[in-house]
Chain A
Amino acid sequence: MPVTININGVDHSIDATPDTPLLWALRDSLELTGTKFGCGMALCGACTVHVDGAPVRSCTTPISTVAGKKVTTIEGIGTKEAKAVQAAWEQHAVAQCGYCQSGQIMSAAALLQSNPRPSDEDIDQAMSGNICRCATYVRIRAAIKSAAASLA
């Protein structure tokens, strides 16, 4: 029985078992590969997407639980916070290998939506679920602050 999910504003009927993680529906069924596989256990944040505006780890989210909800991926993110975050990421040359950065940007955009002026502690708390093995953390902090300043 296909599951219908609204992804980036469009309804998609996905022909996969209900337990299929949203991550693999996005990547294998819809070819939206900007959302990354890192751990499969919601430990690294590389798969972060927004479900009804809130950051969610798609690798442990069965598609049956997001039927009828609005899913936004890095390919469809268009909020002013997300645009500011992406611009700040470029300005600070945050990305190195880049593999985790879709997830970092989705988490950062969600942070700014709920907290327009985050402190270092707020940033550390909101972003500690997103691992970056290149350790671009110093620039992530700086870029989030720049993005916040640009929106003020």
Chain B
Amino acid sequence: MSEASSSAASASSALVAEYALQLGDDALILSHRLSEWCAHSPELEEDVALANLALDLLGQARTLLTYAGSLEGAGRSEDDLAFLRTEREFRNVLLVEQPNGDFAVTIARQLYFATYQSELYAALCESTDPELAALAAKAVKEVAYHRDHAVQWTLRLGDGTAESHRRMQAALEQLWPYTAELFLADAVASELVASGVAVDPRTLRPAWEASVAGVIEAATLTMPADVWQPRGGRAGKHGEGFGLLLGEMQALHRQYPGARW
């Protein structure tokens, strides 16, 4: 066994489970936010598009949560993890739980997050953990379409009418503070970077920022400036809207325990 794979094998399963939960929760919560657009989108093609994005993300979440549950070894399934954890136990970044707002806010969130996921999964293809590497190799191809969708809409809204430009700029400004957290390395990620399991999120920032800046400039928009930088999602400290989100997402499962159809 190579040095890298023996380190991966000896890296605590609990840590890898935590890492998988971070990535899985990002996908799960964003999937839920996007699904809120169903039957409410500005046009039919977008209703279909956003639902497709949500479904792709849900697939990522299911794979990651199932993996986390199996590593944890406490018998928790993907459903247990998605529907029975409480606010403080979720590990997603704050960006993905932000409310959809108007369509421009949703697109700004997609631009920031799909670009991040694209860089993240590309790097995670090299993970020494075969399950994470396998998921990354699949997800990176699908997320390329998410990124394209976000870029095209940013271009159209920014370089559109005065109204769409105003809203798109406002959306970029509103969500910019939440992007800092994407590139923070917490204790879990840091420890797993050494064994090659996890990607150091700090390494993703230069390519991400160059890409986002390029799109913003081409869209005749202005790059937002750094002001405040909220964090805490990875530690379970979510915003006040998160409880409402979980209330909706988990209601059915909690009201009818053990339901089957």
Do the two chains bind?
Answer: no
Binding site for A on B (CB under 8 A): none
